[in-house]
């Protein structure tokens, strides 16, 4: 009998969320634990396994589970390890997929980074259903990406392919990035990048803005969006600036793999026309002629609260291909 469910686990710096998912992308049973509470990864896995067993039992037991997918920062699909993840409490190279599998009756576990998981989720349940070539861009605290070519996630020779957020898009006076280099896409087009732009824009001009009511260090990309919706000129200019930079970068990415679509995920992707219009314009202005008008720009169709678990779970279906 075909096993009807998969389990998705999303590991974030603060919380780990998990759930049992069916083939249509419905999360049936879910739970969460605090990632940061466990200095020792073995204690963390033990607690996670307790939660997993509980939701797996609710779903009818291990025999019903096809596989478990994990999305984690710096997760390496090839060896199932988290490698030197800056925002997780455990240092070095952690064989997390194996540790989890051992605790849940040997159900196979696959692991990848969170942006790749989002891409697989989008391909399985979301806006990229039926597509063989697309690029997923996640716009969160950072900018992540998953590149799918011919129906396969591109992992590269070492498992770390697709760090488009760290392509350098400003060679002169580029902003300092968390990776230690300057001018990465992420420093402009992540949620934190937008907040950074807001502080710059407010310093550079004396124009009135709703954003001036907020202490500069507390401004978030959501504040910029709220102000833009209310007609705030500076806020709208910030989106114009952000979207233009992102669109210029996407025009280059299109030249790499000629994707059918680019799917945007994350808080910024919900800013609608404020961000999509300048992105689209910058793509059209910059893309090579042969690609013009061929690549769709789409917003993710995965529900925000579910997306991370769904994305990770989609990896669980793929386990049939690996074994």
> Within positions 163 to 182, which residues make up the interface with Zn ion, using CB under 5 A?
166, 177, 179
**Residue 124's CB: how many other CB atoms inside 10 A?**
22
3-class DSSP state of 4: coil
182 vs 212 by CB, closer to Zn ion? 182
- Shortest approach of Zn ion to residue 108 CB, angstroms? 33
3-class DSSP state of 194: helix
**Residue 243's CB: how many other CB atoms inside 10 A?**
25
66 vs 166 by CB, closer to Zn ion? 166
10 vs 163 by CB, closer to Zn ion? 163
- Shortest approach of Zn ion to residue 184 CB, angstroms? 3
> How many Cα neighbours within 13 Å face the side chain of 266?
22
The interface region with Zn ion, picked from 8-16, 139-147, 158-166, 263-271 by CB under 5 A, is: 158-166
Q: Contact between 143 and Zn ion (CB under 5 A)?
A: no
Binding flags for Zn ion, 32-71, as an x/- string (CB under 5 A): ----------------------------------------
82 vs 177 by CB, closer to Zn ion? 177
- Shortest approach of Zn ion to residue 200 CB, angstroms? 18
Burial (CB < 10 A; 0-12, 13-18, 19+), residue 95, is middle
Burial (CB < 10 A; 0-12, 13-18, 19+), residue 62, is middle
- Shortest approach of Zn ion to residue 165 CB, angstroms? 7
- Shortest approach of Zn ion to residue 142 CB, angstroms? 9
179 vs 214 by CB, closer to Zn ion? 179
Task: Show the 3-state SS of 104-133.
Answer: CCCCCEEEECHHHHHHHHHHHHCCCCCCCC
Burial (CB < 10 A; 0-12, 13-18, 19+), residue 31, is middle
57 vs 84 by CB, closer to Zn ion? 84
- Shortest approach of Zn ion to residue 311 CB, angstroms? 22
Cβ-based neighbours of 290, under 8 Å, separated by 6 or more = none
- Shortest approach of Zn ion to residue 42 CB, angstroms? 32
Q: How many residues bind Zn ion (CB under 5 A)?
A: 4
Structural contact between residues 125 and 316, judged by C-beta atoms closer than 8 angstroms = no
184 vs 198 by CB, closer to Zn ion? 184
Q: Contact between 184 and Zn ion (CB under 5 A)?
A: yes
Binding flags for Zn ion, 71-100, as an x/- string (CB under 5 A): ------------------------------
Structural contact between residues 312 and 21, judged by C-beta atoms closer than 8 angstroms = no
Structural contact between residues 128 and 134, judged by C-beta atoms closer than 8 angstroms = yes
Burial (CB < 10 A; 0-12, 13-18, 19+), residue 214, is middle
Q: Contact between 189 and Zn ion (CB under 5 A)?
A: no
Distance CA(98)–CA(95), nearest Å, equals 6
30 vs 187 by CB, closer to Zn ion? 187
List interacting residues with Zn ion (CB under 5 A). 166, 177, 179, 184
């Amino acid at each position: 009998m075909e096993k009807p469910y998969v389990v998705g686990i999303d590991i974030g710096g603060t919380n780990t969320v998990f759930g049992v998912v069916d083939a249509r992308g419905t999360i049936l049973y879910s739970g969460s634990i605090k990632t940061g509470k466990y200095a020792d990864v073995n204690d963390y896995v033990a607690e996670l396994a307790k939660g997993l067993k509980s939701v797996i039992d609710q779903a009818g037991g291990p025999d019903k589970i096809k596989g478990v997918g994990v999305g984690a920062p710096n997760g390496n699909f090839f060896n199932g390890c988290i490698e030197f993840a800056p925002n997780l409490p455990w240092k070095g190279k952690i064989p997390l997929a194996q540790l989890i599998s051992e605790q849940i009756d040997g159900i196979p576990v696959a692991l990848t980074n969170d942006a790749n998981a989002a891409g697989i989720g989008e391909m399985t349940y979301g806006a990229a259903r039926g597509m063989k070539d697309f690029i997923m861009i996640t716009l969160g605290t950072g900018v992540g990406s998953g590149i799918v070519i011919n129906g396969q996630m591109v992992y590269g020779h070492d498992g770390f392919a697709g760090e488009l957020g760290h392509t350098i898009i400003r060679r002169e006076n580029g902003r300092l990035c968390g990776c230690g280099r300057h001018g990465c896409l992420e420093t402009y087009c992540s949620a934190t990048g937008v907040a950074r732009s807001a502080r710059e824009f407010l310093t550079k001009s004396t124009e009135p803005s709703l954003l001036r009511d907020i202490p500069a260090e507390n401004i978030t990309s959501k504040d910029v969006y709220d102000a833009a919706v209310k007609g705030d000129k500076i806020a709208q200019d910030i989106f114009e600036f952000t979207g233009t930079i992102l669109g210029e970068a996407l025009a280059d990415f299109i030249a790499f793999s000629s994707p059918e679509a680019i799917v945007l995920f994350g808080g910024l992707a919900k800013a609608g026309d404020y961000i999509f219009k300048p992105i689209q314009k910058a793509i059209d202005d910059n893309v090579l002629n042969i690609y013009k008008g061929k690549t769709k720009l789409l917003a993710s169709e995965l529900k925000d609260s579910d997306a991370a678990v769904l994305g990770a779970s989609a990896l669980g279906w793929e386990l049939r291909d690996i074994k």
